[in-house]
Amino acid sequence: MDALEYVRQLFDNGCIQSGFFHRFACTVHSPVGQHPEEYGVTLQSLPPVTFAKNDVGFIDPTGTDHNAMGRALNKALYNYMHGIGLDEDVRRWFSGRVPRPRVPRHFIARALASY
């Protein structure tokens, strides 16, 4: 929610015109792929492929629905790029309960004003 709040403010203040949220991908050679227990995740078995066994499925112990989160983030960004919803709470894009952002609502505007 904090990242989306920063992005909302950047759009609202004309600092950016487009954006994209990249989702985390666990890879076999990354620290998470090498030592998943240190990150609290469980890796799924690699699929039987013969080339480029890089991405590894994982189970997130928080229970977060990553697909639903991705849909909401994409919807928010699409609307922000069209100037829609910039004055609304970022949580409006999510169908379930999500935490309130901890970022002050006018953080970017205040930073720009002091620059």
pLDDT tens figures, 54-112? 888 888 888 888 889 999 999 999 999 999 999 999 999 999 899 999 999 999 999 99
pLDDT at 50 over 70: no
Domain that holds residue 83: 2-113
Integer CA distances (angstroms), 56 to 42, 45, 59, 94, 111, in order:
10, 7, 10, 27, 40
Q: For the chain, what is the domain count?
A: 1
Average pLDDT over residues 4-8: 98
